[in-house]
Amino acid sequence: MKNFPCLLALLVTSVVFAEEKAGETNLPPDPFGDLEEIKEAADYPVELDRTRGTFLIDAEDGKYQLGSHFANWFWTMEAERWGNYYVGLLYESSRPKLGVQVKIGEEVLKSYASRTSERTMHEPMILGTAYLEKPGEYPVMMLTGDQSNVPAFQVKGLKFIPAPESEPLGQSIDGEIILEAKTATTYSEMMRYEPKPEKNCLGFWIHEEDWAEWVFDVSTPGEFDITVTYGCGNGNEGSEVAVYVNDQTRKFTVGDTGGFQSWKEVKLEKVKLEVEGENKIAIVPQSKAKKAVMDIRKIVLTPAS
């Protein structure tokens, strides 16, 4: 019992030390503990048809030819309108990697097709973009680095998805955001970007169901004035148009500007861009008064004073 006072003092010291260390752990600190949640811009208030303008050439409609160390697929593709498209390969594969080369007219796209899963086998693997200069027939050839019509690797087809013809410029140092016609994605069957210098616009807007979208980055969020530059003439005025800015809606009635390439600016009610990073704008006709909705030159977002 001579050591009892010492043992008691040691026990008291241990309890005090434990109380001081309460809540602490010997685990290393969480390296992601200080990361903030990434905010995303809100979706549009309505659901839009992103399949419009997309078309597929099916493997069953092509011709398959087996070579000694490779395989070829051949199609004749019918394009209804010109424009830029993402080209996606639909396939199933249990192989780690297989080389793929697709030639559309004179354009060649190259990539590697990796192993698919239940989650990925239904989504196209984007090989790149191809520009179709005019509507009509195009020869399409695909070369694979091995057999591609066997259980280990099966080609299902090629999917063509509308793509912008240029990336939008970033927000300028004064906060302005300029969205030109050529940076829009046109989900459409007829409406498309017209590159002639006197046009440089979205034109051939003869279907009410066709619509356009701009996806752009914001570095300095805030409140913005929104201005749409458009043209309309020849008695085609009167169409109703909605402009969706993330989850906000602004509308206007298309007026007669004196011609489809006689440009007029319409200033809409202010909008708030609250999220830094990716934002989006869609122009969607609500009604078509006459033969065509309008031509669109650009959209400009200017910081509100």
Domain boundaries, the chain: 55-162, 177-303
**Alpha-carbon distance values, 137 to 14, 79, 81 (Å):** 85, 6, 11
Nearest to 203 by CA among 219, 184, 222: 184
Would 55-162 and 177-303 be classified into the same CATH topology?
Answer: yes
For the chain of 305 residues, list the mean pLDDT of each consecutive stretch of 10.
Answer: 52 50 62 68 95 95 86 92 94 90 93 84 89 93 87 92 92 96 96 93 96 97 97 94 98 96 96 96 97 97 93
The predicted pLDDT at position 275 comes to 94
Cβ neighbours for 267, distance < 8 A, ≥ 6 positions apart: 225, 226, 227
Architecture of the domain defined by 177-303 = Sandwich (2.60)
Check: CATH 2.60.120.260 for 55-162? Answer: yes
Task: Indicate the burial class of 164 (C-beta count within 10 angstroms; 0-12, 13-18, 19 or more).
Answer: buried
Closest-CA residue to 300 (of 274, 262, 263): 263
Q: What is the pLDDT of residue 281?
A: 98
- Per-residue model confidence (pLDDT) at position 171: 93
In this predicted structure, what is the pLDDT of residue 31?
64
Burial 83-118 (b: 16+ CB within 10 A, else e): bbbbbbbbbbbeeeebebbbbbeeeebebebeebee
Q: Please classify residue 17 by burial: count the beta carbons closer than 10 Å to its beta carbon, then call 0-12 exposed, 13-18 middle and 19+ buried.
A: exposed
